[in-house]
Amino acid sequence: MVKVTVDGIPVEVPAGSSALQACEAAGKEIPRFCFHERLSVAGNCRMCLVQVVRAPKPVASCGFPVGEGMQILTDTEVVRKARRAVMEFLLINHPLDCPICDQGGECDLQDQAFGYGADQSRYAENKRAVTDKYLGPLVKTVMTRCIQCTRCIRFATEIAGVPELGAVSRGESMEVTNYVEKALTSELSGNLIDICPVGALTSKPYAFTARPWELKRTDSIDVCDAVGTNIVMQARGASVLRIVPRTNDEVNEEWLADKGRFVVDGFRHRRLDRPWVRVHGKLQPASWQDVFVALAKRLKGVAGDRIGAIAGDLCDAESMLALKDLMGALGSANIDCRQDGADYDLSQRDFYTFNTGIAGIEEADALLIVGAIPRQDAPVLNARIRKRFVAAGRGGFPIAMIGAPQADPTYAVDVLGDGPDALADLAAGRSPFLDVLKKAAKPMIIVGHGALTRPDARAILKAAWDIAGQVGALDAQWHGFNVLHTAASRVAGLDMGFVPGKGGRDVAGMLGDGVEILWLLGADEFPVDRIGNDTFVIYQGHHGDAGAARADVILPGALYAEKPGTYVNTEGRVQQAFRSVMPPGDAREDWRILRAFSEVVGHTLPYDTLEELRARLAQANPVFARQGNPRFAPPQGISPDGGKVAIAGTPFVPVIADYYQTSPICRASPTMETCSRTYVHPPAQAAE
């Protein structure tokens, strides 16, 4: 530790810290534009100038290392004069369009100009004008506002790993550009909006929609993947207008994937806002009472083993437990939360969770990825892998991948093969990467759903577990075996046992003529067309998608922004979201619908309030009563069940065909549709 003095306040900071970090440790706020805690130091803006005793002139604190006994002054006349001069230079070419800028109210330049700006300008020449750049359908550019801090360039290169932004020219002529008129290809591009300190980069879908002070903010959890990214819903009136990330260093740091950020316009399209009943082959609107009575009559006399339920990928834990309890009261063991047909060994929790925790990626020193494409399955988690890769330096964090040989993960990987044959070669010692894993102090293995949605999933899972044990990833200090999920509801469903009971049918068994009555709780991601023609389908959800189109009865539910809910992410972390807006029309919270119907059908569920339901959750599995760090005890020395199907040689197939079209909300979103056309299905161009 190094002892320094900041404005007479003695502080101790780690060796190698900057003067800016020392000032913040002393409780001093230092203005800055180019400096960002998670990016490399550029020292472009000079706004963070401070005075160091015995230094000939003010220094940029972001890039000035501290020394033993250093005395730093942050509020002298010399410092104030220097900062005012820097601000004057920044404002010389900056346009005076604050009233029409979407960054207004959240602009760092605006805030700092209040403290260090002048009431008039001495610059009487023409201001610089810069052509706006095309960055795709998500990020809007007004490059005349750019102050050349280069945060966006550093983010794209260092965090996203897609170096598509750069700078041309020098001095006042410098321009941030993507070189060619090409859309940004990163799944994290929306974070450029957050890190830009001015209004040069703003949200294109959100442009001119609202001002920040008009919005009500509510903490929530992103459900577009299984990372459990912490977010803030920003609403005005009855509509959520914007979603931004919320800092959580253990989960998402301060990043948010594009799908979770820009899917917000899908909240308002293709919504189910009233009950519907199919009469003579055509859906007709109905009241809640009429729907419940009709359902009760339809269920009367139907044996429990002829009733089934499937939970979708976006469900909260409360609604899934209510449906599980209702099915149990009706005598049905036909329940399943695995729309994709994934197979897990549920005898131990660490067989299906991300055991190191997402933050644990930064402790690993070797990584094997099996049947996963983290860049699409979980972009924020992929950014954490890249962070570890960059921090370790060349060769410091070797990564190998089995499956998806054509994928671009944003970091260097050694592709061992495209199928489980490569896993067998690795286990047998025929691959040199086995020695790499053995030499690592903390090796890590990530198994994705490309491996778990196959008939031989159990065998692959066991093979990966055995390799983890072989290389020392399963000891008392380090549990390096991880499963990467893609569905936000999956771990909660597995924790509460929303899987077929004794003699029960899974999703595949419920299709065809497997059941007489099928209850779909937001389930749209399985082959709906394979439901039997005579099967009576109840769809409970918030969007009119594939499940609603097949339904005989539609019960309008609330989406995740319209209800409080509990979600468990891929690492087993229990998190709670809060209601931002009320559901539209006659839509209601899903667990309340199920509780109300249970009374009509004569099997009243034993809870009337959300608190009572959450107590029931804790009874179903104590993990629901624990929030915070999900790290588990060391492995128990038991291997997963290898199943009855041997490992096949067929290549792994990616589980996500179109990153922007993975849920009913995504498919209802005009922005996600535009992204899909831009990135996944671009229009064909005629040859010249």
Residue % of the chain over a pLDDT of 90: 86
Mean pLDDT within 113-137? 90
Residue 687 is predicted with a pLDDT of 54
Rounded to whole angstroms, the Cα distance separating 322 from 310 reads 13
Residue 571 is predicted with a pLDDT of 94
Indicate if the pLDDT at residue 16 is higher than 70. yes
User: Across all residues in the chain, what is the average pLDDT?
Assistant: 93
Do residues 59 and 48 make contact, with C-beta atoms less than 8 angstroms apart? no
Determine the distance from the C-alpha atom of residue 170 to the mean position of all C-alpha atoms in its chain, rounded to a whole number.
37
Mean pLDDT within 162-185? 89
Residue 191 banded pLDDT, cuts 50, 70, 90: very high
Indicate if the pLDDT at residue 562 is higher than 70. yes
Question: In the structure encoding, which two tokens stand for residue 336, read together?
Answer: 């399943």
Do residues 320 and 337 make contact, with C-beta atoms less than 8 angstroms apart? yes
Longest dimension (CA), the chain: 91
Strands (E), 238-324: 239-245, 276-279, 282-285, 307-311
Indicate if the pLDDT at residue 241 is higher than 80. yes
pLDDT digits (tens, 9 = 90+) for 619-662: 999 999 987 666 656 677 788 998 889 888 899 999 999 999 99
Backbone angles phi, psi at 480, to 5 degrees: -95, 15
C-alpha distances out from residue 253 to 165, 445, 573, Å: 22, 22, 15
Mean pLDDT within 495-516? 95
Residue 155 is predicted with a pLDDT of 96
Question: In the structure encoding, which two tokens stand for residue 484, read together?
Answer: 């990467």
Residue 635 is predicted with a pLDDT of 74
Q: Where are the alpha helices (DSSP H) in 203-283?
A: 258-262
What's the one-letter identity of residue 556? P
Q: Is the alpha carbon torsion for 331, 333, 334, 340 positive or negative? A: positive
Indicate if the pLDDT at residue 33 is higher than 60. yes
Question: In the structure encoding, which two tokens stand for residue 190, read together?
Answer: 């929306």
Residue 682 is predicted with a pLDDT of 83
Nearest CA to 343 among 266, 455, 434, 450? 455
Rounded to whole angstroms, the Cα distance separating 51 from 116 reads 17
Question: In the structure encoding, which two tokens stand for residue 601, read together?
Answer: 């059908």
Indicate if the pLDDT at residue 398 is higher than 60. yes
Q: Is the alpha carbon torsion for 53, 57, 61, 64 positive or negative? A: negative
Mean pLDDT within 51-57? 93
Give the SS3 label for residue 530: helix
- What 8-state DSSP symbol labels residue 608? -
Residue 173 banded pLDDT, cuts 50, 70, 90: confident
pLDDT digits (tens, 9 = 90+) for 447-461: 999 999 999 999 999
Indicate if the pLDDT at residue 423 is higher than 80. yes
Determine the distance from the C-alpha atom of residue 62 to the mean position of all C-alpha atoms in its chain, rounded to a whole number.
30
* Bridge partners for 483 per DSSP: 447
Do residues 399 and 407 make contact, with C-beta atoms less than 8 angstroms apart? no
Residue 629 is predicted with a pLDDT of 63
Residue 231 is predicted with a pLDDT of 97
Residue 405 banded pLDDT, cuts 50, 70, 90: confident
Give the SS3 label for residue 547: helix
Composition of the chain by helix, strand, coil, percent to 5: 30, 20, 50
Do residues 655 and 342 make contact, with C-beta atoms less than 8 angstroms apart? no
Question: In the structure encoding, which two tokens stand for residue 46, read together?
Answer: 């000079």
Residue 118 is predicted with a pLDDT of 86
Mean pLDDT within 230-237? 96
Helices vs strands, H then E, count in the chain: 21, 26
Residue 688 is predicted with a pLDDT of 54
- Residue given tokens 């994290």 in the structure block: 188
Mean pLDDT within 107-117? 92
